[in-house]
Every structure is written in structure tokens, then in C-alpha cells.
Amino acid sequence: MDYKGQPAGNPPPPPPGYGPPPPAYGQQTTTVITAGYPMVAQVFRESSVPMQCPYCHANITTTTTYETGTLTWLICGILILFGLWLGCCLIPFCIDGCKDVVHSCPNCQQTVGKFSRM
Ligand SMILES: [Zn+2]
């Protein structure tokens, strides 16, 4: 009589882990509160806007100057892509409607805002 030794079907249980890892302290996320921002929330457009200057606190109407902006370069690039590179790509630099508008205070000459077309 031969008998078949049955293999032990019970693997040894895994060693008990020592619980979950401790929670990581010291990673406090500091919430930056942007309230109290000195700049007045003002929507700037192409034309001058009446506002209070955040620098000299005078009631002013902003003076606008045009500045080459992202859209100017974008239109220039598009014109180049379309083959209009014989000087035509310089057209957007001559059109104020393609440029950004910088608002400045006529009283203290500080830049108080900017209207970007992008
Ligand atoms: Zn001012």
C-alpha cells in the first residue's frame, strides 16, 4: 500500500504588517489668500476709463498708449504663413487695433492697467 503524501495546501500566512504607515505630518498647505490685493479690479478696454489711481489715489481718466502685443506678433506670423511676407507682415505693427492698450495715470504716469487682446 502506497500512500500519496498530500502536499500541505496551506501556505504560511504572511507576516503581519505593522499597520498602515503613519500619516505624513509637516505638509501643511498654506492657502494664499489673495484678498486685499492693492490693485483695483478694473476692466480695461481700448478706450480710456475713469478710475481711481491705485498709486496716487486720484480720480483720473486713464491715458491709453498702444503697445505691440501678442496679437500683433500672431497676425504677423499668420501673414508670413500665408506668403504675405513682402513687408505685409509689418501691417499689424501699424494698426492700433492689433495692439495691446496700456492704461496709465496722467497724474503720476504709472501704468495702472493693460488691455490685452489675447
Ligand atoms: Zn496716479
Task: Please give the chain's pLDDT, 118 residues, in tens.
Answer: 556 655 656 666 666 666 665 555 555 555 444 444 445 567 898 899 999 999 999 999 999 999 988 888 898 888 888 876 566 778 888 888 889 999 999 999 999 999 988 7
- 0.75 cut: is pTM over it? no
3-state secondary structure (DSSP) of residue 78: helix
Q: Answer for the pair 103, 62: CB distance below 8 angstroms, yes or no.
A: yes
Cβ atoms < 10 Å from Cβ of 60: 21
Beta bridge partner(s), residue 100: 67
> Which pLDDT score is estimated for 69?
86
Q: How far is the centre of ligand 1, averaged over its atoms, from the C-alpha of 112 (Å)?
A: 8
Q: How far is the centre of ligand 1, averaged over its atoms, from the C-alpha of 115 (Å)?
A: 18
Q: How far is the centre of ligand 1, averaged over its atoms, from the C-alpha of 63 (Å)?
A: 11
Q: Answer for the pair 65, 47: CB distance below 8 angstroms, yes or no.
A: no
Q: How far is the centre of ligand 1, averaged over its atoms, from the C-alpha of 58 (Å)?
A: 6
Q: How far is the centre of ligand 1, averaged over its atoms, from the C-alpha of 74 (Å)?
A: 32
> Which pLDDT score is estimated for 79?
85
Q: Answer for the pair 114, 43: CB distance below 8 angstroms, yes or no.
A: no
Comparing CA positions, the residue from 23, 53, 56 lying closest to residue 40 is: 53
Q: How far is the centre of ligand 1, averaged over its atoms, from the C-alpha of 56 (Å)?
A: 4
> Which pLDDT score is estimated for 14?
63
Q: How far is the centre of ligand 1, averaged over its atoms, from the C-alpha of 109 (Å)?
A: 6
Q: Answer for the pair 112, 59: CB distance below 8 angstroms, yes or no.
A: no
Bin 57: left if φ > 0, else alpha if -120 < ψ < 50, else beta: left
